[in-house]
Structure 1
Amino acid sequence: MKKLAIIYSLVLFGFANAQSIKYGVTGSVHKGSIAGIHGVSKGDFGGSLGVFADFSLVTNDIYDSAWLYFTPQLEVFTIGEKGDWNEDKVDYQKYSNVYVGVPLYIKYFLKNHGYKGDIYIMAGPKFEFLVSENTKEDDAVKEAVFTGYDPYKFGLGQKIKKFSYGVSVKVGARVNDKLEAFIRFDRGLSKIYPDYTKTATYNRFLGIGVNYYLGETY
């Protein structure tokens, strides 16, 4: 509850101080993985779909001149990977998780001759809430024990944490008044598997996406 209260407070702060509010939908595709665990592993493709709002933090007139925004986002995204603990390239372990994510960006448009340009940079913290976990390790734990290996060494049989956090960065450009395209990189800062202490474990992905604006209020 404390985490949600902090998020709500930040959004309300942005609303109270906004000169104008633009809102829309966003989506992306990415290649992601759960770093630091599952032995030899390969990332998997995933995606995100959500809504966002741009709260202008500087004066914004009818010509859309604001160059600095607070941009909270609410999204659903998938991330996962497949592991191969004994490197036999036959029986892969599969991990696929679904999260509700809340990135809180500061969005800055680069200026061109003193005026708002079309290129922007976004960065900020991101909070992740696990809503679905799909782990398929089949008999990997038993096989590791049977052959004399410790399953823990390969990250097998681990329980995932329900809440995590990290940072998210976007670099994008305005295509027109309604559409933006961006490249996005997200990197977790908290442990995904809290009981696994051999190395740090965190979500990460790199992807591309678009923002589509539905409206604006002053």
Structure 2
Amino acid sequence: MKKIVFGIAMSASLMLSAQIDFRSTRYGITGGATYSRVSNAHNPSGARYSVYGGLLAVIPIDSSDQFYIQPELEYLGAGESGKDKNAKNSPDYNAIYGNSYISVPIYFKGFFSEAESEFFAMAGPKFNFLIGQTIKNAPQRYTVEGQVINGELVHGKAASFNFALGFGLGYSYKRKLELTGRYDLGLSNTYPGLMKDPNLAKKKSEQVLSVGLSYIFD
């Protein structure tokens, strides 16, 4: 919780101190593919592939055409699967633990120069709100060394809110068409219900890698 409060406070502080020019705001669309995993959750544990997509705004915060605030509103598919390469013969190999979010990242974006076509980097907090969870082909009981956890079916109910820090690197063609690679580091507990067993009492952190395209309108 302290990290979440700190992230919100930092975002607000930077936005208030910046020379924001809302009149020059440009809008765009964004979308791409995601690769996600959740640490310390299910066993076997592997990657899940999904998509993201939504809207963005590019807001100048200086007069040099180099620095911006870029808030976004997007659908984000994340979670994990049972496709661990070392567990191909496991009955749980085809399990899917899919999490769907409405994600609100607020990136601070900087271009490496004032050139019209240029590389850029960005970083900022991401606020993810769960809108759906899909569990397929999962075992009827989640076990640790053959023992049922408290006799319950505990695949794990995903938390309704997920906080992460997002980092990105990309290239912009004429400040209109942009290719971006992103990494989201989850800081909150994705599956608090799986903390019941002392052998599993480690934070279930969700990480997401994504690659996508954005188009920014004039």
Bigger radius of gyration, 1 or 2? Answer: 1
Partner residue, 1:125: 125
The offset of 1:36, in angstroms, is 1.8
The offset of 1:90, in angstroms, is 2.9
Amino acid at match of 1:98: S
The offset of 1:14, in angstroms, is 9.3
Partner residue, 1:212: 215
Amino acid at match of 2:180: F
Partner residue, 1:167: 165
Query: 1:151, 1:157 within 8 Å by CA — same for their partners in 2?
Result: no
* Residue 90 of structure 1 pairs with residue 78 of structure 2: no
Partner residue, 1:192: 190
Q: How does 1:3-152 map to 2 (within 5 A)?
A: 10=12, 17-18=20-21, 20-59=24-63, 65-83=64-82, 87=87, 88-91=89-92, 92-111=94-113, 118-136=118-136, 138-141=138-141, 144=143, 148-151=146-149
In structure 2, C-alpha distance between the alignment counterparts of 1:55 and 1:178, rounded to whole Å: 14
Query: 2:102, 2:128 within 8 Å by CA — same for their partners in 1?
Result: yes
Unaligned residue ranges in structure 1 (runs of 5+): 60-64
Q: What RMSD in Å do the two structures reach over aligned CA positions?
A: 3.2
More strand by share: 1
State how many pairs are aligned. Answer: 199
TM-score by length of 2: 0.78
The offset of 1:98, in angstroms, is 0.8
TM-score by length of 1: 0.78
Identity across the alignment (%): 28
Q: Deviation per CA, 1:169-206: give whole Å up to 9, x if none.
A: 11011123420111111111000111333221122111
Unaligned residue ranges in structure 2 (runs of 5+): 196-200
Amino acid at match of 1:24: G
Q: Deviation per CA, 1:34-87: give whole Å up to 9, x if none.
A: 22210121111111001111110011xxxxx510001111100111222279x4
In structure 1, C-alpha distance between the alignment counterparts of 2:33 and 2:187, rounded to whole Å: 21
In structure 2, C-alpha distance between the alignment counterparts of 1:181 and 1:78, rounded to whole Å: 19
